[in-house]
Amino acid sequence: MKKTFLLASLFLILIVILVLKQGATPSWTHYQKEYFIEQISKLQVQLRTVNDEKKKEQLQLEITNYQNRQPEIIDLILPNGKVERCKTCHIGIEEISNSHPSNTLGCAVCHGGNPLSLDETTAHTQMYGGSHPGSLDAASLSCGGIGANGEACHAGNQERANNEVDLVKTSLMSTKAGELSVVRRMFGLDKTKDVPGLTKGEVAFYYPNPLQGRPNEKRFKQDCLSQCHQSGGNIPLPTNYPQSATAQSQEQSSAKGQIQGNGCETCHILTNSTHTYIGDDTTIKADNLNHGMIHRLTTQIPYTQCNQCHNQGNHDALKMSFTIRPDMAKVVRDWQTGDATWTDRLSDYYLPSEIFAKCEVSLDCIDCHTRQDVMGDDQLHTSQNDTVHLQCLDCHGTKEKLPLTKKIENPQDLAFEEQITNPQFPALHIGDQILMTAQGEELPFLRHNEGNWIQSSRVTGKSFKIPLAYGSKCQQNANEQGADSCHKCHDRSALHY
């Protein structure tokens, strides 16, 4: 009996010692040690592939520095005197963007939370949108907040175009008003495309009684209105979703429903096909779903990012069902390996049997759709046709008129903002001529230069000479500028098989 009691006592003492030891070793030290080990491993891989002796010495010195480095609290002192310690844990996290430097803005201005705390629970309390500050229900506090310098970010500015947080809440992708309008008219609830009672900034999921208590109302809300850019919405995934994630992460995904769309991040944080993180922040595990590839904002948004929501399959509004496109397996493979040829882009860009012109495949979505098309224009549109600002004549002109241009004369012109956010932006100078839409929106990636009309890709920087309808044999009707009209002649769908 005494022996049993003694063993039990020793076991209890051992547990207490382990608990105390664990408590004395804060979790941030483990994250930093993991980061050091990962960096050493990467440098050793580089070392084995280098022949230059000076480069070898440099790499070996970096390896030695990481081997000798000890965990320490990292204080980030901002210009306003505030101190943040987020990088004590998130030591390897990437800079979010060149225009949002952490040593100037910090982390809390976007993420919220308690940046002085080194305890995970306390530090993450009251974070904007949890780990997704771009979610539309939190974007007014994060993206639309006040910077460390006291200036407004993406809301509250005198220039309306700079209030993206306010505008995006009226966009069709956010409100889904178009989807609501079409279905309500189909069921005979509305005679016009206007949705009665839907107000600016109100997402369609919260619209009261979209089908007025009909049996399929719940399914319509869950399967249609909850997807994509709305906060908490889901991005449709193919049935043959890549199985590279672990069983644990698949269970997490299943528990949450699907991969979530998180407002601003859905476009501006690029993802891979498994929606997992591949960066250097050791606090974000590789099997943790619902993350971008790295902690990095971009305005170079390729069509593959748009295809997370668009061109995934077909919705049947009557049956409230969604059918994945039959060639999705190839599309996912191309997403992982990168499109090798124009034919790949042709087959992956659009659903099979869709009709489109060559330029719609050579370019990416953001090369045609304007800022107001995507981000909204402060108007509550209820149809896609009303939402799209760009017409074919804006780039190609008509048989009678050349495209509309604007001469850059003001160094404060909104067009210059692209130089800050997009490294592919061709240098813009006072006196340059950029194209304008018929509705007065600037197209700074499209230029008129010495008789040539040139478009630069916002994703790759590649330039394209724009063919003009003016002076050509084009038989277009100036009053019919929809894509369907142009597709009557410019139809490349025959190759889309």
| Same domain, residue pair 355 and 396 | no
**Once rounded to an integer, what is the mean pLDDT over residues 314-342?**
78
Residue 100 lies in a domain: no
Residue 422 lies in a domain: yes
Residue 446's pLDDT is 95
**Once rounded to an integer, what is the mean pLDDT over residues 47-68?**
94
Q: Going by C-beta distance under 8 Å and a sequence separation of 6 or more, which residues neighbour residue 128?
A: 110, 111, 112, 135, 138, 141, 142
Q: Render pLDDT for 382-410 as a digit per residue (tens, 0 to 9).
A: 888 788 888 888 999 888 889 999 999 99
Residue 229's pLDDT is 58
Q: How far apart are the first and last CA of the chain?
A: 80
Q: What is the Cα–Cα distance from 74 to 94, expressed in whole angstroms?
A: 15
Residue 310's pLDDT is 84
| Same domain, residue pair 305 and 338 | yes
**Residue corresponding to tokens 């090798």:** 340
Listing DSSP states for 291-308 in one string gives --SSS---S---HHHHTT
Q: Render pLDDT for 161-176 as a digit per residue (tens, 0 to 9).
A: 889 999 998 888 888 8
Where among 304, 331, 366 does a domain terminate?
A: 366
**Once rounded to an integer, what is the mean pLDDT over residues 133-142?**
90
| Same domain, residue pair 196 and 306 | yes
| Same domain, residue pair 225 and 342 | yes
| Same domain, residue pair 362 and 394 | no
Q: Within a 10 A sphere around the Cβ of 47, how many other Cβ atoms?
A: 15
- Which tokens sit at 61? 């010195």
Eight-class DSSP state of 468: P
Q: Going by C-beta distance under 8 Å and a sequence separation of 6 or more, which residues neighbour residue 210?
A: 180, 183, 184, 204, 217, 220, 221, 225
| Same domain, residue pair 300 and 394 | no
Where among 314, 332, 366 does a domain terminate?
A: 366
Residue 432 lies in a domain: yes
Residues 74 and 90 sit within 8 Å (Cβ to Cβ): no
Q: Is the pLDDT of residue 111 over 90?
A: yes
Tally of domains in the chain: 2
Residue 240 lies in a domain: yes
Residue 455 lies in a domain: yes
Residue 155 lies in a domain: no
Where among 366, 401, 416 does a domain terminate?
A: 366
| Same domain, residue pair 217 and 325 | yes
Listing DSSP states for 199-237 in one string gives -TT--GGGSS-TTTT-TTHHHHIIIIITBTTSTTEEE--
Pairing between strand 83-84 and 463-465?
A: unpaired
Residue 338 lies in a domain: yes
**Once rounded to an integer, what is the mean pLDDT over residues 325-354?**
78
| Same domain, residue pair 445 and 481 | yes
Across the chain, mean pLDDT equals 84
Q: What is the signed CA dihedral for 216, 218, 224, 230, rounded to 10 degrees?
A: 160
Residue 257's pLDDT is 43
Between 134 and 289, the higher pLDDT residue: 134
Between 172 and 40, the higher pLDDT residue: 40
Least confident of 110-119, 329-338, 451-460: 329-338
Q: Going by C-beta distance under 8 Å and a sequence separation of 6 or more, which residues neighbour residue 53?
A: none
**Once rounded to an integer, what is the mean pLDDT over residues 460-478?**
87
Residue 454's pLDDT is 94
Listing DSSP states for 420-455 in one string gives HH-TTPPP--TT-EEEE-TTS-EEEEEEEETTEEEE
Q: Render pLDDT for 254-286 as a digit per residue (tens, 0 to 9).
A: 334 467 778 899 899 998 878 889 999 999 988
- Looking at the chain, the whole-number percentage of residues with pLDDT higher than 90 is 40
Between 123 and 234, the higher pLDDT residue: 123
Between 183 and 240, the higher pLDDT residue: 183
Residue 238's pLDDT is 53
Q: Is the pLDDT of residue 159 over 50?
A: yes
Q: Is the pLDDT of residue 148 over 80?
A: no
| Same domain, residue pair 292 and 257 | yes
The type of residue at 298 is T
Q: Is the pLDDT of residue 198 over 60?
A: yes
Q: What is the Cα–Cα distance from 56 to 49, expressed in whole angstroms?
A: 9
> Residue 345 is part of which domain span?
168-366
Residue 254 lies in a domain: yes
**Once rounded to an integer, what is the mean pLDDT over residues 56-66?**
96
Between 52 and 485, the higher pLDDT residue: 52
The type of residue at 43 is L
| Same domain, residue pair 175 and 297 | yes
Write the burial class of residue 317 (CB in 10 Å: 0-12 exposed, 13-18 middle, 19+ buried).
Answer: middle
| Same domain, residue pair 215 and 362 | yes
Q: Render pLDDT for 221-250 as a digit per residue (tens, 0 to 9).
A: 877 787 665 555 677 665 555 544 433 333
| Same domain, residue pair 291 and 407 | no
